[in-house]
Amino acid sequence: MKEERIEVSVPRGAEREDPNLFVGINGVSYLLPKGKKSSVPAEVAWEIARSERARDALDETMDSLQRARA
């Protein structure tokens, strides 16, 4: 059975950041170039999306805490 693959676009990072995004799932490592599209297994695409949602939630929480502090 052929594994489902999904095309993902990894945003380009800051100049001093690592030029690749590391994703590890169940002992399998993926190194995806930032600023380019990559075809990855569905679970890798899901993990990238989950990580982005978690980062967005953290940013919202930090903004809320800073507004409450002001």
Q: Is the distance from CB of 10 to CB of 48 less than 8 angstroms? A: yes
Residue 18 CB-density burial (10 A; 0-12 exposed, 13-18 middle, 19+ buried)? exposed
Q: Quote the pTM value.
A: 0.79
Torsion of CA 48, 53, 20, 25, to 10 degrees: -40
Closest CA to 10 of 67, 49, 66, 41: 49
Closest CA to 47 of 3, 14, 10: 10
The one-digit pLDDT tens for each residue of the chain (70 residues) are 678 999 999 988 888 999 999 999 999 999 999 999 999 999 999 999 999 999 999 999 999 999 998 7
Look at the chain and report how many structural domains it folds into.
1
Structural domain range at position 36: 5-69
